[in-house]
Amino acid sequence: MPDPEPPKSRVTLAQLTDFIASHFPQVQEGNGPVTIEFISRRAAVVRMACDERNIRPGGTVHGPAMFKLADFAVYVSILGELGLGATQAVTTSMTINFLSRPVAADLVAHARLIKIGRRLAVAEVEIYSDGKPDMVAHATSTYALPPERPKA
């Protein structure tokens, strides 16, 4: 459960949503559209709408869509925490475990920053099919943070 405390940077959900829409419009391409649902202290919740482009025939887990959702949820949680000066943060690694086949529903990713260092951020992500109790995928991810970042 994300901490209800606001993120340190005081970026609002509306500001972050606008920023992504103007700077990263391509995040909406290729898979189901994504929506930032919630940001809080060191955490974010992001939804990817159910979309035929996410699912392989037979319902096999479509890994790349979940990878993209997990990666984006971590990026959002970093921007939320550190502010829009951290946009140059880049993914250096991700480990993703696919746990069960998601049903044809929205996917909801809960990202949580477990370390914010000077140079690296580490996050954990849980992905659920909307309304279902079992996790469909779990990821841990590392981002390299920009060396000198403007204050949020």
Tokens representing residue 62 in the block: 């479509």
Please identify, among the stretches 12-20, 37-45, 84-92, 102-110, the one whose residues bind a copy of itself according to the rule CB under 8 A.
84-92
* Dihedral pair phi/psi, residue 142, rounded to 5°: -120, 135
Q: Are 62 and 56 in contact (CB under 8 A)?
A: yes
Min dist. Cβ of residue 111 to a copy of itself (A): 13
Give the span between the Cα atoms of 26 and 7, in whole angstroms. 25
x/- string (CB under 8 A) for a copy of itself, residues 97-116?
A: xxxx-------------xx-
In whole angstroms, what is the distance from residue 8 CA to residue 41 CA? 6
Given phi > 0 = left and psi -120 to 50 = alpha, else beta, which region is 126?
beta
Shortest distance (Å) from residue 115 CB to a copy of itself? 4
Task: Establish if 61 lies at the interface with a copy of itself (CB under 8 A).
Answer: yes
Binding site for a copy of itself (CB under 8 A): 23-24, 26, 29-31, 53, 56-57, 60-61, 63-64, 67-68, 71, 90-100, 114-115, 119-120, 122, 124, 126, 135, 138, 140, 142, 144
